[in-house]
């Protein structure tokens, strides 16, 4: 596996791939890698000739400076995981390489209502920062395919919209959520949970699963009320939201229809740690 630190070096390597007519897959990450990230690497290896993974803790998508400071940095472990799982290139850019003109937003991305609901409502400005850094990384890497995890479903939709509006020639592949044995979605934030918090962290998944199983029998507004009450019954959990959305348009769904694919999304706080999850209903 090659480790690259500068955009100029990356351009040279990608140019070599292009001259050989090889396809390039790209997995952008914040680091603190786990099996969920490796599933994206495996998907890229399956569908592309070469796989590039970036590790960059992007300052523009953290609305809380303390959250940025506390984000786990495990570069040595990340390198070992990527090497063991067949990644071809690890890209480790500096802030100045990604943002040569400074970290202030260079443009305002047209993201529509997606930017302001659910995750966007809790973290103002977050999705503008995500759109900016991924746009910049796509310009540097110029991949054929971009591999993203379903756990961040709203973010995937945000990036699809950004790519469409910016007319970027890259295909987005959304990959399934990877879970622990008890159902908890893999996340870098999980390692910050206390032992007691980790024991109940899978309650979000279990609640979403119950909603999915009962969506044909119980009105959606009642399911939402039950889900919030069920989660908040645990003294360690504070529910941020439970929401039923059209899987394609992300419009909120209040009544069940037979011809739409839905996604149930949820977010909870366990102390200062915020966890998200979702399930798709066909």
Render pLDDT for 226-250 as a digit per residue (tens, 0 to 9): 999 999 999 999 999 999 999 999 9
Per-residue pLDDT tens digits for 134-170: 999 999 999 999 999 999 999 999 999 999 999 999 9
Complete domains list, the chain, with CATH: 2-175 (3.40.50.620), 191-281 (3.30.1300.10)
Per-residue pLDDT tens digits for 177-221: 999 999 999 998 898 999 999 999 999 999 999 999 999 999 999
Catalytic residue at 37? yes
The pLDDT of residue 106 is: 66
Is the pLDDT score of 69 beyond 70?
no
Catalytic one of 37, 42, 126, 135: 37
Q: Which residues pair with residue 51 across a beta bridge?
A: 25
Collect all residues with Cβ–Cβ distance below 8 Å to 61 and sequence separation of at least 6.
126, 127, 129, 130, 133
């Amino acid at each position: 596996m090659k480790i690259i630190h500068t955009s100029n070096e990356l351009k040279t390597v990608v140019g070599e791939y292009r001259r050989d007519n090889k396809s390039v897959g790209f997995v952008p990450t914040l680091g603190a890698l786990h099996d969920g990230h490796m599933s994206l690497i495996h998907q890229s290896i399956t569908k592309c000739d070469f796989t590039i993974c970036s590790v960059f803790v992007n300052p523009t998508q953290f609305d809380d400076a303390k959250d940025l400071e506390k984000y786990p940095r495990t570069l040595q472990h990340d390198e070992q995981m990527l090497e063991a799982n067949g990644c071809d290139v690890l890209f480790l850019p500096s802030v100045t390489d990604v943002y040569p003109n400074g970290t202030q937003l260079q443009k305002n991305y047209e993201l529509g209502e997606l930017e302001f609901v659910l995750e966007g409502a809790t973290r103002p400005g977050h999705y503008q920062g995500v759109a900016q850094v991924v746009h910049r990384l796509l310009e540097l890497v110029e991949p054929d395919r971009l591999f993203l995890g379903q756990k961040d479903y709203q973010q995937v939709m945000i990036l699809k919209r950004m790519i469409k509006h910016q007319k970027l020639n890259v295909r987005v592949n959304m990959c399934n959520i990877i879970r622990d044995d008890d159902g908890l979605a893999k996340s870098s934030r999980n390692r910050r949970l206390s032992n007691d918090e980790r024991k109940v962290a899978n309650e979000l998944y279990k609640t979403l699963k119950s909603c999915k199983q009962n969506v044909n029998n119980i009105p959606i507004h009642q399911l939402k009320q039950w889900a919030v009450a069920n989660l908040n019954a645990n003294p360690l959990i504070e529910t941020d939201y439970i929401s039923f959305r059209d899987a394609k348009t992300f419009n909120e769904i209040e009544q069940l229809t037979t011809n739409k694919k839905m996604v149930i999304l949820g977010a909870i706080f366990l102390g200062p740690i915020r966890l998200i999850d979702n399930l798709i209903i066909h």
